[in-house]
Amino acid sequence: MSSREQYRIQERSPTSAFAARTVVVLASLALILSAFHFWPFDASRAWQTIGPTNVTVMALVAMMVLFALRNPRQLREYAPHVSVMAYVVITVLSLTFAPKLSRGLSFSGKLVLIAIGGYAAFMFAASTRRGLQALYAAATAAWALAVGGCVIGRLFFARDFGFFTEASKYGSYVAILTPLCGATMLTSPRLPGKLVGMLLIAATAVSAGTVGCILAVVVGLCVAAISLGRHAWPVGLALLFCFIGVVMLWHAQFISPLRGDARLSEKDGTNLRQQYIEWQALVNLLEERTATGSGAGCMNEYRSEYYYRLPKLNTLDPFNQNGWLTIAAETGILGLVCFVWMMSYHMTMAWRTRHRSRPAWVRRYGVANLAALAGACVAQAFSSFLFNGVLIVAILALSLAQAVALRLEDSSDDAQMPYRQIPARDSGSTVPLRER
């Protein structure tokens, strides 16, 4: 580490350089561990609560709380955008209607921890360029682990989705990470980076178990291609590899989960046709509970009253539902509005990064963030990303969009000081954003 960089990390005092590095390490570790989901004790409730991912996230949040107590200014500096806070507050308030407070508290507790504490921690970690690179590297490692685990599990261990037990959870997880890390790798100036990116994207496409996942990846990469303009050829090539891979393997045993999902028959618990029945129940629920919802995490308590007919197999778990409708059904229309606001605000930030920034590396990350959020929006239509490890990567995508956008004017390539100035909207002038 150069003396200049060390000086700047120390300058960020009162947080010590050691503590700052610890946050970066813990944030990266949390991302990598999220790829293992609840493996190897998938059925254990204790492991699901105090597994390594959750423990790491709790340590990360605890560190951010300590920083905030030591210096309240930092709390404001790394706090999530008001749209995130508004969504979290409405979610907590919706517990008014939770028939069982324990279930609602468990769901909203995790959301509060990760959406506020995790967001702040990711923002903090991304406040230096090296920290930002560490986060992208950790996300890429998590993506490679999840996809590699799925391919190996399906080939050798009869586990269709590797470390994940559900097609939809695996689908949502890789649907966010593939555009995020894939676009970063495909825009890399080095050829090996591009090739590895293409390989991983093709592996994601053939290992996906749901049509929603494929659609989210394709939409995410298309958004990246549109943003890149004439430099989009690696993305186009990656999409071509995906198409060829899926077509060639369509009749192979390896791709049978995806084939089952596309068949539109109610022969498993999660296929598209069954999802439509669930969507209808959620829409019906909205008529009576438009403003109130059913309480965060408690949709299943009321949903059965609103089916026109029950699915042939069991009803779907909340995370297998359409995420947009789930949020509306659980937190009411105002909860959905806050969620849409949160997503659209961060997408706008990523879009502005793409268009206004000068340094190539900021543009590159801006494109990746925009692609990841577009992929997340599509994936959300087929399953909810507000659960477990998927929530961690979703919050990562949001916080990175914000963190990179705040570095718009940080044009020096080796700059370490974050968040200097941001141009005022619709004017050429600049306003100081964060003063230290």
Partner 1 sequence: MTIPIKTSMASMWPLTRPRVAMALALATVCAASVASLEHPRNVPFAFAFIPLTTSVIMWLRAAEGPLKTTARLVTLYLLFLPINEAMSVHVSLCAGGSQIHLAFGVIVLLGLVLARLFDTDNAGTTDDDEVSSGVMRAWLVAVAIIAAHVVLLRGLLDAWYGYGFERDVPVLGALCAYYLIFRLLWQRSGNEIWRRLACVLSSLYYLALVLH
The site for partner 1 (CB under 8 A) is made up of 79, 81-83, 85-86, 89-90, 93, 95-99, 101, 273, 276-277, 279-280, 283-284, 286-292, 295, 308-309, 322, 324-325, 328, 332-334, 336-338, 340-341, 344-345, 425
CB 385 within 8 A of CB 342: no
Cα–Cα distances in Å, from 410 out to 60, 135, 353, 421? Answer: 27, 19, 12, 8
How far is 375 from 410, CA to CA, in rounded Å?
27
Q: Return the number of the residue (85 or 211) whose C-beta is nearest partner 1.
A: 85
To the nearest whole angstrom, how small is the minimum distance from the Cβ of residue 61 to partner 1?
A: 20
To the nearest whole angstrom, how small is the minimum distance from the Cβ of residue 153 to partner 1?
A: 33
Beta bridge partner(s), residue 265: none
CB 368 within 8 A of CB 375: no
| 40 prior amide bond cis, ω within 30 | yes
How far is 146 from 410, CA to CA, in rounded Å?
33
Q: Return the number of the residue (18 or 308) whose C-beta is nearest partner 1.
A: 308
Beta bridge partner(s), residue 422: 431
DSSP string, 48-104: HHHSHHHHHHHHHHHHHHHHHHH-HHHHHHHPPPHHHHHHHHHHHHGGGG-SSHHHH
Q: Return the number of the residue (93 or 199) whose C-beta is nearest partner 1.
A: 93
To the nearest whole angstrom, how small is the minimum distance from the Cβ of residue 103 to partner 1?
A: 12
First to last CA, the chain: 23
Q: Return the number of the residue (144 or 286) whose C-beta is nearest partner 1.
A: 286
To the nearest whole angstrom, how small is the minimum distance from the Cβ of residue 314 to partner 1?
A: 19
To the nearest whole angstrom, how small is the minimum distance from the Cβ of residue 68 to partner 1?
A: 15
To the nearest whole angstrom, how small is the minimum distance from the Cβ of residue 224 to partner 1?
A: 22
Q: Return the number of the residue (105 or 195) whose C-beta is nearest partner 1.
A: 105
Q: Return the number of the residue (230 or 309) whose C-beta is nearest partner 1.
A: 309
Tokens for 328?
């509306």
> Among 339, 323, 367, 365, which Cα is nearest to 220's?
367
To the nearest whole angstrom, how small is the minimum distance from the Cβ of residue 280 to partner 1?
A: 5
Q: Return the number of the residue (79 or 196) whose C-beta is nearest partner 1.
A: 79
